[in-house]
Amino acid sequence: PRPSHFSPGDEDFQENHERQKHKGKRRNGDRPKNKRENQRRKRSSNSEPETSEESEDEEEVNNDGEVRPELLSPEELEKLKEAVDEKKKLIQSLRGKPWPMKQKLVTLRESQLFVEKYEGALGKGKGRKLYAYKVMMTKKWKKFQRDFENFKTACIPWEMKIKEIESHFGSSVASYFIFLRWMYGINMILFGLTFGLVMVPEALMGRPYGSIPRKTVPRAEEAGAMDFAVLWDFGGYAQYSVLFYGYYNNQRAIGWFKFRMPLSYFLVGVGTVAYSYMVVIRTMARNANESGVGDDNSFNFSWKMFTSWDYLIGNPETADNKFASITTSFKEAILEEQESRKDDNIHLTRFLRVLANFLVLCCLAGSGYLIYFVVRRSQKFALDGLENHTWWERNEVNMVMSLLGMFCPMLFDVISALENYHPRVALQWQLGRIFALFLGNLYTFIIALMDAINLKRKEEKVVKYNITMWEASLYNGTGSENSTAPPVTIHPADVPRGPCWETMVGQEFVRLIISDTMTTYITLLIGDFLRAVLVRFLNHCWCWDLEAGFPSYSEFDVSGNVLGLIFNQGMIWMGAFYAPCLPALNLLRLHVSMYLQCWAVMCCNVPQERVFKASGSNNFYMAMLLVILFLSTLPAIYTIVTIPPSFDCGPFSGKNRMFDVIQETLESDFPAWFSKVFSYASNPGLVLPFILLMVLAIYYLQSTSKSYREANVELKNKLQMVTQRLDNFVFLTSYGSDFILNA
């Protein structure tokens, strides 16, 4: 029975290490102790650690049971010190010893007790209490640090959910949820920026609803402004609110502390993009560091044999599946090895691959044309007036885009069976094709949107003319020519409005996101949940086994979902400048998605038959995200730079270009020398050499990284040669001696 008042319930090696450093002085003991006890203790300190425990029982009378150093002679002190050092060395090296665990734990505990008891004896005299205090504080600090780490880990949202999913489904499905959580973090920051710096200042400090024409629902639309159908389409009161670009006033400074609203709007727009770039590239760099091993093409079967198992699996059915999938992958590897030896029919394979690519191209072209056709039709509807058409016709574009985005990847998957690629290569082709599909759809949508923007700008000229006419008629009506007459008070709702293409763009994006979300959720409910319910409850009265054959439970489609997430984020980046409510909407959507998909995966899906490791594809998804970020900020930047803002709505109304707000701020808010410096810095003569320098730096870094990679490969080869030589040497010495003996 161990005495319980000893504190080392913690097997913390570091603590002992710390104590080594603090071989400080101990204070002279106050309590009287018989010499006899000390002598017994001295004797026991040089013997086995176990017996020291028995003597320690007697020391329960004293606190801490410390040895009085002044009662020991120098040689004994020396011996004690050696013993303590030996015990410390033992503790340090314990991990590497080939003992059974129980023995290790017992030895550890005893050594720690010994060290703790007798180390104080080594310090001399006075500083003992201070030393004890220091030791106690260090221990407490370590404990606090550990608790804080635990608390930080417990604060990570949804960690238990994801771990549970990982144990059931393997690491690739869990990687989707980890990716979702990471996206949620990014969107949280974007939401913070847009909400805190754009929406809230305008709502609190800007002019309230109804004070100026752009903030009021026009008289013509007032009747239906509160209808649910109108609000769902983001018209009515939703349109004339902080959610969209058009509501914002172009007043240069608002509120009592002169918040520069237009500047803030512009900078937040630029800042969201900059932040996103930074985060994505930083994550890519971190992932590149981790995946350093790389794919060796040698020792394929050894790698498979020793590294295929996923130790995070905690569910028997998943383990069975993983086992079956490893077996299948072995079979496939053997087949592949055989097939790579004989390589007949290369022409047939090539022909089939070309055919498959041709079919995919046809499908892509077909889907692109369909979207273009539908968008043209919706523009025709808009010209006719939207009220004459059914709900289906009004939402045709969104529905067609969502449906195509759902069905075409399935078709690509089926066509890729023709190509006969290795599954990982096939997956990359599949992802590339889905990427092309989504991109094509998105850009067709944008081109159609550009047409609508141009239409609105043409309308602007007409409306400007009409407004001048209307104002003239107003002043004529009051019958006074000079400006000293009291201005006519017209209710803001009655003032004729200029068209606002930015709000229209924002609305289109919001509608697209909403319909995409709805389609995803409905597909989830029908394709996964309803299917699972049918399979489960119809199985005992159906002629064939629904679980084993068609339709069976669905599998979780990792790549499709990840791509959907990436493209969704691309749309947010595209539209966030024109609809500041988009990050908020996306945050809500991701939050709901997380819970809904976690539930759906656990409830309706079965683990995949082909279980893929996620680590290789992580950087691939990040690279796609980067490309999407670049491609989605392009249209926004193009519209900002080339198209003049609407004259009647938004924070930049009245300016020639949106980025003029920067110029204005530099001139008015900063001292004169600052704007001079800036104008020098933005001189093309300075900017071009700088760009050239950056290009050269990138080239230099690229070539050094290539040379490091080659050096790595060479080292690997050398290592292989050395081990081979060592093997030969070992073989020769072990058998060589046999030869000599038997010769």
Partner 1 sequence: MVSPAIALAFVPLLLTLIIKYRYYFVLFYRAVLVRIWKDCVTGLSREERAFQYVLTNSTPGDPDSILDAFDYWCSKVEFISNIGPKKGKILDRLLLEQSPLTVLELGAHCGYSTVRIARALPLGARLYSIEMDQGNAAIAEKIIRLAGFDDDTVELIVNPSDEVIPRLRSDYNLERLDFVFMDHWKKCYLPDLQLLEEYGLLGKGSMIVADNMLFPGAPKFLRYLRKCGLYEWKIHRAMLEYSRGIRDGMAELIYQGIK
Residues that bind partner 1 (CB under 8 A): 363, 367, 370, 373-374, 377, 390, 392-393, 396, 399-400, 403-404, 407-408, 410-411, 413-415, 539-540, 543-550
Query: Which uninterrupted H or E stretch holds 175?
Result: helix 171-194
Nearer Cβ to partner 1 (494/545): 545
Distances in Å between the Cα of 12 and the Cα atoms of 19, 108, 112 are: 11, 10, 9
Burial of 591 (0-12, 13-18, 19+ CB in 10 A): middle
Closest CA to 95 of 104, 103, 86: 104
Nearer to partner 1, 391 or 731 (CB): 391
Decide whether 407 or 470 has the Cβ nearer to partner 1: 407
Residues 419, 471 contacting (CB under 8 angstroms): no
In terms of CB distance, is 374 or 574 closer to partner 1?
Answer: 374
Please, what is the minimum distance in Å from the beta carbon of residue 367 to partner 1? 8
Residue number with CB closer to partner 1 (363 or 601): 363
State the nearest-atom distance from the C-beta of 308 to partner 1, in Å: 20
Secondary structure of residue 260 in the 3-state scheme = coil
For residues 473 and 496, is the Cβ–Cβ distance under 8 A? no
CB 123 within 8 A of CB 69: yes
Q: Name residue, tokens 């044309």.
A: 369
Least CB distance from residue 328 to partner 1, whole Å?
A: 10
Q: Which is nearer to partner 1, 402 or 593 (CB)?
A: 402
Q: Which residues contact 493 (CB under 8 A, 6 or more apart)?
A: 210, 213, 216, 217, 218, 219, 222
Q: Are 71 and 35 in contact (CB under 8 A)?
A: yes
CB of 511 to partner 1, least distance (A): 16
Q: How far is the CB of 396 from partner 1 (least distance, A)?
A: 6
Q: Which is nearer to partner 1, 257 or 550 (CB)?
A: 550
| CB-based contact 249:207 (threshold 8 Å) | yes
Spatial contact of 582 and 196, defined as CB atoms under 8 Å apart: no
Which of 261, 245, 271, 276 is CA-nearest to residue 575?
245
**541 Cβ contact partners less than 8 Å away, ≥ 6 residues apart:** none
Quote the least distance from Cβ 523 to partner 1, whole Å. Answer: 11
174/442 with CB nearer partner 1: 442
CA angle 527, 533, 534 (to 5 degrees): 85
Q: How far is CA 469 from CA 203, 268, 463, 474, 496, in A?
A: 33, 38, 10, 9, 11
Report the phi/psi class of residue 160: left, alpha or beta, with left for phi > 0 and alpha for psi in -120 to 50: alpha
We find the least distance from the C-beta atom of residue 397 to partner 1, in angstroms, to be 9
In terms of Cα–Cα distance, which of 476, 397, 478 is closest to 442?
Answer: 397
Q: How far is the CB of 165 from partner 1 (least distance, A)?
A: 23
Q: Are 515 and 537 in contact (CB under 8 A)?
A: no
Q: Could you tell me if residue 255 is left (phi over 0), alpha (psi between -120 and 50 degrees) or otherwise beta? A: left
At residue 3, the 3 state secondary structure works out as coil
* Closest approach of partner 1 to the CB of residue 363, in Å: 7
Shortest Cβ 631–partner 1 spacing (Å): 24
- Cβ-based nearer residue to partner 1, 435 or 620: 435
- Cβ proximity to partner 1: between 205 and 326 the closer is 326
**Residue 549 CB, nearest distance to partner 1 (Å)?**
5
Q: Rank residues 335 and 726 by Cβ distance to partner 1 and give the closer one.
A: 335
563 vs 434: CA distance, rounded Å: 8
Q: Can you tell me whether residue 584 is helix, strand or coil?
A: helix
Nearest distance, CB of residue 548 and partner 1, angstroms: 4
Nearer to partner 1, 360 or 614 (CB): 360
CB 120 within 8 A of CB 131: yes
* C-alpha closest to that of 601 among 320, 318, 327, 402: 318
Give whichever of 351 and 407 is closer to partner 1, judged by the CB atom.
407
Instruction: For partner 1, give the closer residue by CB, 187 or 367.
Output: 367
Closer to partner 1 at the Cβ: 139 or 377?
377
Structure tokens at 532: 């699972």
Three-state SS sequence of 121-165: HHCCHHHHHHHHHHHHHHHHHHHHHHHHHHHHHHHCCCHHHHHHH
Residue 106 CB, shortest distance to partner 1, in Å, is 39
Q: Is 73 helix (H, G, I), strand (E, B) or coil?
A: coil
The nearest distance, CB 406 to partner 1, in angstroms, is 8
363's enclosing H/E stretch is helix 346-384
Contact 647, 464 (CB under 8 A): yes
For partner 1, the closer of residues 535 and 581 by Cβ is 535
> Cβ closer to partner 1: 168 or 260?
168
Helix (H) or strand (E) holding 606: strand 605-606
Q: Which is nearer to partner 1, 550 or 739 (CB)?
A: 550
Closest contact distance (angstroms) between CB of 560 and partner 1 is: 13
DSSP state of 605: E
* 350-356 CB contacts, 8 Å cutoff, 24+ apart: 352/418, 352/419, 352/420, 353/418, 353/419, 353/420, 355/418, 356/415, 356/416, 356/418, 356/419
Which residues, in sequence order, are CB contacts of 184 under 8 Å at separation 6+?
157, 587, 590, 591, 594
Q: Rounded to the nearest whole angstrom, what is the least distance from the CB of residue 177 to partner 1 in the complex?
A: 27
Shortest spacing between CB 524 and partner 1, in angstroms = 16
Q: How far is the CB of 415 from partner 1 (least distance, A)?
A: 8
